[in-house]
Structure 1
Amino acid sequence: MQISLKLLLLTASLSILSGEAIASEAIGINPTSKTPLFDGHCDKEEWQASTKIELPAQTAIYLMHDKESLFVCAKGKAEDYTAIDLYIEHAETGHLYNLHASAQLSERTLSDKDWSESAFWNHKDWSGYWVPYAGEEETDEGKRTKFLEGSHREVQVLRKKFVGNTWNMMIRLSAVYQDGEYGAEFFYPEKAADTEKSTWAKFFFSK
């Protein structure tokens, strides 16, 4: 009986420690009292309070929040277009959402095994600063649309869109210039997969 009691106490202690370890892995998103202006720049004073995550190729992710919104900014280099994808799990339904900002804004969901088709300019309860149009240029194949390099990608998500104070998320940066081309992309967490929410990171809204 004494042995069983000791085992139960040991198991309970390990469970508590395990729970604390999991909780400590969550990333706090710093609060802000200033709503940022979506102007393609996240290195201004209004973003100084943000939680910052450094990524390769001189890129970074800034996150902060107020009572109504999550604000995210993807910072790139002068040569980058810096597209961003936010992947967020809805804690009640279990559905996964992909909020995308590049030359257009789009949203898609994963509710079974496959992602839905991207619905462009379908951004209920969220918005973003897309890659600005920069005119046209002549090529051997005719005129081609140009987009502005060097702007940062800002996104605002209303917190009412996803329940709870802790969100399970993955972040993808793409259209980054590296090794002579724009094909570089980076993920946070580094080895996360868009269909495997267990590989994502927990973020909570700090007070």
Structure 2
Amino acid sequence: EDVHIRREVNALYVYAFCLPSCREYLSGSKGEGFLFPWSDLDIMVSKLPPEEISMESFHNDCAYIATTNGCKPGFCKLIQSYAKCDYYSRVEFLQLKQHAGFNVNFDQTIRGPCYSTNFPDGFDCCYALPVHPDSSNVFLRTFKTKFWNGVKLEIMNKNITVMHCVPKGPEKGDDDGHQWLISFSILEQNIVHSLNHVQF
């Protein structure tokens, strides 16, 4: 019961403090409502439209097109929809975020796709680009979901954003820094939150 209440409080916090340009998701053990003394706070900061991604095809409402051609499984490359240019570099993306946040958290360091800082109490922040629901719904239709408690149907009917691209590349084979990890962490969170105590 305590875990459920903390999840509700977290959801209310995310809703209340949603900025016009981005949305924050609480993840990790604290985001799941658990209070472990050794756990820090994990946050995913997702850009909002029009900073969305369309998978494999052009979309009028999306700033980027993702392609999996030439990528490791689970990764993609991003191309700006309205510009004829090279792939969008995740390295440059991270550097821009680091410069923008320097005056806020001067001790921040890059750890994988996240910025880690000890201020005020220690947290990891992962900046992400959302995949448009039109693309994620196509992907979800291929899933068999007997144990999802109606989560799949709710996500598709309400066009909930559950897929993201995060600035993390494969261990090998991406020296240019162009491959982004396709993340399903928010989808997984929706599934976990739907489970009752017997299923969990």
Please classify the TM superposition score into its range, dividing by the shorter chain length: under 0.3
- Bigger share in strand: 1
- Bigger share in helix: 2
TM-score (norm 1): 0.26
TM-score (norm 2): 0.26
Which one has the largest radius of gyration? 1
